Amino acid sequence: MTLLSRRFVAMLLVLLIPGSLYAVEKGATEKVTVHLVTGTEATKPMEKMAAMELESQLKELFNVEVTQEEVLSSDTEPFIILGSATNKSLFGTDSDYSLPKLSPQGHALKSLEQDSNTGLTIAGGSPVATLWAVYEFGYQNGIRYLMQSDVYPATPRELKLSGYDITLEPNLKKRTFRLVDQFPNSFESWNAAECDLLIKQLGKLKFNHIDLNVSPWHPFIHYELDGVAKETGVMHYGKQFLINPDYPGSTAFGGQDQFENSDFAGMETYKERNEAGKRYIQSILKSAHDQGMTVGVSLDPLAFTPEFKQVLPSSFVRTDHHNLHLGANNPYSGPKFEQLAKTQIEAWLDTYPELDEMSISLFQGSATDEEVEEGFAQLQSYSSKLKESTLEDVLEKSKSNSISALRDSGQTAASRCIASLAFYNRLFRSGALAERKELPQLQFSDVTPVLYPYLPEILPGENSSLAVSVTAGHGVHQFDQVPAQLVPAVLDCYLHNQNLSVMAQSTTQWLAERIQQLQTNEWEGVSVHFWTPAEQDPTLHFLSRVTFNSSITPRQAHDQYFETITRDESATGRMWLAFENMEAGSRMLDDADIHFVSPYEGDKMLMKHYNAEKPLPENWEEIKEHFTQNMIELYRSHDAVKTAGRKELYYYAKRSEAVLTYLTAVEELHAAAAAREEDDLETASEHLYTALESLYDAIDTLNDVARNPSDLGTIVLLNEYGYGPLLKEVGTVDAQLDAAE
């Protein structure tokens, strides 16, 4: 047989043997046709979306034609059966197609044979799970889903429908992503259209809940209390972040004179901002619901804005950011505060009846002894188990049981948690909201661990859940003490610590440890919270895989992610070293100085290093070495990769470079402070100038790769709370030197 004949026979075998690869091209011009069978009942929007997404993937991955049809029309061409388990036209008792048992979140990819033809079933236990099954098919064929886009493998690939035997069920049923927040580098800066695109990408990662983290000064609701109308409605604490064209990074803003969420640009009155705020939240609600997600809002109903101080006794400012966030001491027994909580909760529910959940932060103000005693007695009336303990017993146990999120002693936290839980029990069980018929799912956060054993009976509302907050690298929580089998519990993980604001941060390995604990103790879910997307894509990828397959390790997820991004095994290995060093460096820095670079400190964010409030950490050189190795491995990986993923690696590498130059600026400020203490203004000036140049370089480097509002917000914060104050100090020292001559 000639070589040409052998090739001809081989091509015939590819086309004729069941379960083999389908040739991408039938001939020079005729493409393979894939029959996409959806049955007669695929009428829901999400089922139609699943079909559209699958058709798009098939064309992009395999360069094939796709024919959507209700009934399979060919017994010789490749076919895919797509639908929900409830679609009787596909999976009824008389159907040729079978499915494993699927929960509402379960989904499956199963190869099948029909009339000597190989096909594939892609199905879910619900319409949204069917959509996830489509994204899983894309994932199995090399697509990787990032927060800003999809990365495809080298295409076209050969179409293979045999060999699929995948059934996925969640081990954490609630997977939450948090939006809004505070500060320019958070999602508060993302307009509705940008949030919509982000939510679509999160759907591909199988997130199923969006949490809106709001503050009392946001412009999203309006209400009145005792004749006083809310008149504070702002973003970014109401601070204007002006763009100085002479400052570094200004070219990233395209000539804008102010940085703000573009949905609120140019709005000068409270009414305008309130109307824009309502449109903004309604848009996010629609985007999430369109992706099959639920939506909740996180708030403190006992926090308020300054105009209400006149009608609420014992008010105090709860943050120093423009004095817009107020609370009150001892609010738990006053009718005014029950009215405040009711009014704010109802304002949210009346304005946004589509909300699925309300997460209530237990107020962190003080409580009187009387409020605590009365509250404890009230909680005992709900809990037979709590009746077996005294208040003194509970408070004594709480001494060694503090919550890191509260930054307070366990006993103080327990006292006000008791008073707060009693307050909300009254509100929802017998008080002003007891008769309200339509309430979303309630969730409560900041519950002190000493009360965990009693939660099934003392949480307000029916079927209420618990949220426990923990920051990456911090917080020792009694996971096994949470009665997760009786009370749905979610761990709220702060992955990008705002106390390290501009630093590159990776938390995948830390998160893996937490996820394992949650799965072992049967928690309902996990919530991720970070201020800027930055380096978090690999972490979200890991989370999307491990919540459906608990055996996935961080290294396995890393390789699955970066092998597609880089298409280079060596670069993938280097990226592992890079992210290991990034995680180690950021954790060590956070352990050494919890407010190393925090925008909460305003103008002190950078200049505190000059004012010598703290020395450099003892392990400073080790911290720098981790970030140096992080940058080296990132640039090595970038230089080795020639595919489209090179752009992603460049983003990481430039950010790592900015981190190192920022650390240099900090180091120079400490040196300047030491020279100033020795009355050596000339040397101090030299170090200040070096610090200024380093900070300029750091910001300019970020400018090179800024790709979303959070990146722009990071530049804004570095200029507002870093470059500006430092430039002013340089001028002051120069003036002192001139005067001394």
Residue 124 belongs to domain with CATH number: 3.30.379.10
Sign (positive or negative) of CA dihedral 348, 318, 449, 416: negative
The answer to which of 19-28, 353-362, 431-440 has the lowest mean pLDDT is 19-28
CA dist 460 and 440 (Å) reads 13
User: Number of folded domains in the chain?
Assistant: 2
The mean per-residue pLDDT over the stretch 192-198 comes to: 99
pLDDT at residue 646 in the model:
94
Among 168, 190, 217, give the residue marking a domain's end: 168
Q: Is the per-residue pLDDT at 26 higher than 70? A: no
**Do the Cβ atoms of 303 and 214 come closer than 8 Å?**
no
**Model confidence over 431-485: pLDDT tens digits?**
889 989 889 999 999 898 899 999 999 999 888 999 998 888 665 566 778 889 8
At 468, give phi and psi (nearest 5°): -115, 125
- Determine the pLDDT at residue 400: 66
Q: With 60 as the cut, is the pLDDT of residue 136 above it?
A: yes
Is 676 within the bounds of a domain? Answer: yes
- Beta-sheet pairing, 150-151 with 525-530: unpaired
In a domain, 521, yes or no: no
Produce one character per residue of 75-84: b if its CB has 16 or more CB atoms within 10 Å, e if not: eebbbbbbbb
Lowest mean pLDDT among 74-83, 271-280, 350-359: 74-83
Compute the average pLDDT of residues 181-185: 93
Structural domain harbouring 662: 583-740
The reported pLDDT for the residue numbered 106 is 99
Say if 426 falls within a structural domain. Answer: no
Mean of pLDDT values over 293-297: 99
Instruction: Return the axis-axis angle of helices 335-351 and 410-425, rounded to nearest 10°.
Output: 70
How far, in Å, CA of 443 to CA of 628, rounded?
A: 42
Percent residues over pLDDT 70 in the chain = 93
Query: Between β-strands 150-151 and 144-145, what pairing exists: parallel, antiparallel or unpaired?
Result: antiparallel
**pLDDT score at 21:** 56
Residues listed for the chain: 741
Domain closes at, from 134, 150, 168: 168
Instruction: Look at residue 27 and tell me whether its pLDDT is greater than 60.
Output: no
Cis, bond preceding 306 (omega within 30 deg of 0): no
Section 174-191 average pLDDT: 96
pLDDT of 500-555, one tens digit each? 878 889 999 999 999 999 999 999 999 999 989 999 999 999 999 999 999 999 99
- Residues 80-101 have a mean pLDDT of 92
H helix runs in 155-234, sequence order: 192-204
Averaged pLDDT, 15-37: 62
If one compares 356 and 182, the residue with the highest pLDDT of the two is: 356
Among 532, 539, 537, 536, smallest CA distance to 501 is for 532
Q: Is pLDDT larger for residue 298 or for residue 410?
A: 298
**Domain-located, residue 569:** no
- Cα–Cα dist 82/674, whole Å: 69
Q: Which of 496-500, 568-572, 679-683 has the lowest mean pLDDT?
A: 496-500
Could you give the CA distance from residue 491 to residue 503 in angstroms, rounded to a whole number? 24
Average pLDDT value for residue range 548-572:
97
The answer to which of 117-131, 221-235, 289-303, 485-499 has the lowest mean pLDDT is 485-499
pLDDT digits (tens, 9 = 90+) for 578-616: 999 999 999 999 888 878 898 989 999 999 999 876 899
Average pLDDT over residues 70-98: 92
* Orientation of helix 127-140 relative to helix 45-62, angle to 10°: 10
Instruction: Please tell me the chain's helix, strand, coil percentages from 3-state DSSP, rounded to the nearest 5.
Output: 50, 15, 35
Q: Give the SS3 label for residue 521.
A: coil
Q: For the chain, what is the mean pLDDT?
A: 91
Sign of CA dihedral 367, 372, 378, 382: positive
For residue 668, what are the contacts with CB-CB under 8 A and spacing of at least 6?
A: 687, 688, 690, 691, 694
Residue 154 included in any domain: yes
- The answer as to whether 21 is a domain residue is yes
Is the model more confident about 402 or about 218?
218
In the predicted structure, residue 423 carries a pLDDT above the cut 90 = yes
At 16 the pLDDT is 37
Q: Does 399 fall in a domain?
A: no
pTM, two decimals, is: 0.94
Q: How would residue 255 be classed by pLDDT, with cut points 50, 70 and 90? A: very high
Mean pLDDT over 694-714 rounds to 97
Whether residue 180 is predicted with pLDDT greater than 50 in this model: the reply is yes
Q: What is the DSSP string of 402-471?
A: --TTTTS-HHHHHHHHHHHHHHHHIIIIISTTTT-S---EEEEE---GGGGGGHHHHSSSTT-EEEEEEE
Within-domain flag for 519? no
- Give residue 408's pLDDT band: very low, low, confident or very high (50, 70, 90): very low
Mean pLDDT calculated for residue range 392-405:
72
Q: Among 143, 168, 193, where does a domain finish?
A: 168
